[in-house]
Amino acid sequence: MLLLSLRINVELFLSPITSQVQTAQQTPKHYGITSPISLAQPKEADLVLTQKLIETLRPFGVFEEELELQRRILVLGKLNTLVQVWIREVSEAKNIPSSVIDNVGGKIFTFGSYRLGVHTKGADIDALCVAPRHVERSDFFSSFYEKLKEQEEVKDLRAVEEAFVPVIKLSFDGIEIDILFARLALQTIPENLDLRDDGLLKNLDIRCIRSLNGCRVTDEILHLVPNIENFRLTLRAIKLWAKRHNIYSNILGFLGGVSWAMLVARTCQLYPNAVASTLVHKFFLVFSKWEWPNPVLLKQPEDCNLNLPVWDPRVTPSDRYHLMPIITPAYPQQNSTYNVSASTRAIMVEEFKRGLAITDEILLNKAEWSKLFEAPNFFQKYKHYIVLLASAQTEKQHLEWVGLVESKIRILVGNLEKNEFITLAHVNPQSFPGPKEEIDKEEFSTIWVIGVVFKKMEGPENLNVDLTFDIQSFTDTVYRQAITSKMFEADMKITAMHVKRKQLQQLLPKVAIQRSKRKASVHLKKVRIVRYKLAIASYKFAILSFLAIASLNLAILTFFLRIACSEGRIAKFKLAIARKKSQNCKFITRNSDFETCNCEFISCNSDFHFFSQLRVLKSKLRVIKSELKVIKSELRDMNLQLLEKKNLNCKMKKSQLPCFIFYLLVEMGFPIFDSNCPTQYLKPPLRVCYIDISSSVL
């Protein structure tokens, strides 16, 4: 059956974990370009952790149900039948002999996440239409396009013929599908065709070779891993982790699906007998310590003598500047991460290190798998952001315009990296609907947010950072590309502006900033708690002073004063630290023209010493706390002696404290709060405050 021939081996991991492990097997085949690091078999604890990993992944929708999988297979079967009927019609129109038409064939192949067996719920399918030599690419974008348009199940049909890899996009019975086209130098297309055969590349144009590359790379990856099931589960976990941490986007300079698959495949080669829980940990271990730009290779490159360009820094000078090369295993070998920049590599390496620290805790049973997939708050991570806004009048124009702008954002990131005052530029792969300039006017807009880190400068003078040229060159590139491709319309706009962290809520939708507000409110509560503690320290100072004066014991009074002063200083330092953390960097934007993107940034130099000031405050706080421990221990001994001699009873009802004690506290620099309203300071002349005093104070 044709339907069965299209079935892709996609495992849903619904069976017990023991079915995923090949126990006590010696790997008969050598995988990769080096020997394995470890051939150790999984332990019982590894199997338990793997089962916990599966249970953690389920709520994120990374596993597709069997019913949905069957629906995808049915759709691909219909599409494959449609391709064969179309090729027969084209063959008849071109007067191909009937003997050839009967066996002309034609086939739909899949690649990407679906072919690898790691697609998620609702994910699209990457497909390749393979046709014999007499079917032209023009036929694919004309007659086949029209045939698709006639199908009732097909929606949102659009052709992108001028793309780097030409494609037809459509929704077939609710499933998004991208179809590429490859015309082989064969008279007929057999059912058992193996696209890994390098001989198929002979006499093909470059566009067909690019289209075939996706299927060839995917098939090679599956043939180069020792255990496909362990590879798939590990890849599901790593892809989810990368998406949750905003580092999953090839077009924006991070890694795409194929690149993540090759990194996981290399980890599987180094630990061929390990299960998924171990492989996830080893993944972070290997690539947090990888010495980039050494390339990641799944097998030794092969030369098929077809004179096709391959990645080779010894021959091609431009290949020497690739920062994070991950080389595809199929000929012609290419670097799948040529978009990676210095900033994106630094961000990913830092995330690898964080992932290693978390998985270390998980293996020691100090943390759960859910901690690994906790999404960090991008909008609280940086103090300064650049917001890009792309807008158009119609939905169709907006779709094309957004695609072009997004493909060029990495150019802006590169421009920012070249600025001598910028350390890092981190673009969030997730885009958001932008605000409308006019409520009554129909407009479609999308915004991207780029976090920016500026270098710490020395000296008291102010720093002027001019990003006009960096932003203007980016916008010029986008407009020039739009005009060249004849897609530019007068209503298509792109603007850029600098905003501070607290200003993002004015531009982003509430869903995006909800977590930011929640964190901010928690932080304000912490500041308020510290202020209450400071008030309590002031009250304790007054209470202890009153009791010491009442006992007329100078030694006790001295210790009371030392304790109260130390606790007051601790509370004051805690309040200073909390307030310092809640401050935003004083970053002033002036001459910001929304249309021309002329931006001049001015920064107070003191803000560059923000963290150093915090370190000083915290170090002083530690010293005071250590002193307080010594004072309290000395006082405890003296207090016990005093209580034994005088049998002091401090149980008192509400007592009015003398005003001179409050004046004394104010003179010593302690803020005194009203007991009825602890957030309000009392200033002389003081009104009477009543405090409950009990022996528990001592």
Q: Where in the sequence numbering do the catalytic residues fall? A: 113, 124, 126, 178, 239, 248
CA distance 44 to 229: 18
CB count within 10 Å of CB 552 equals 8
**Six-digit token string for 196:** 């890994």
CA distance 72 to 560: 77
CB count within 10 Å of CB 451 equals 21
Residues 275, 42 contacting (CB under 8 angstroms): yes
CA distance 36 to 227: 14
CA distance 268 to 477: 41
Residues 406, 388 contacting (CB under 8 angstroms): no
CA distance 206 to 185: 13
CA distance 455 to 449: 20
**Six-digit token string for 631:** 């004072």
Residues of 478-501 as b/e, b for ≥16 C-beta within 10 angstroms?
beebbeeeeebeeebbbbbbbbbb
CA distance 187 to 205: 17
Would you state the torsion angle of the CA atoms of residues 389, 395, 399, 401, taken in this order, to the nearest 10 degrees? -50
**Six-digit token string for 336:** 């799948």
Amino acid (one-letter) located at 353:
K
The per-type count for the chain, helices as H runs and strands as E runs, is: 19, 15
CA distance 247 to 654: 61
Q: Exposed/middle/buried for 26, CB within 10 Å: 0-12, 13-18, 19+?
A: exposed
3-state secondary structure of 59: helix
β-pair partners for 496? 388
CA distance 46 to 38: 15
CA distance 519 to 513: 10
**Six-digit token string for 155:** 């929606």
CA distance 507 to 513: 10
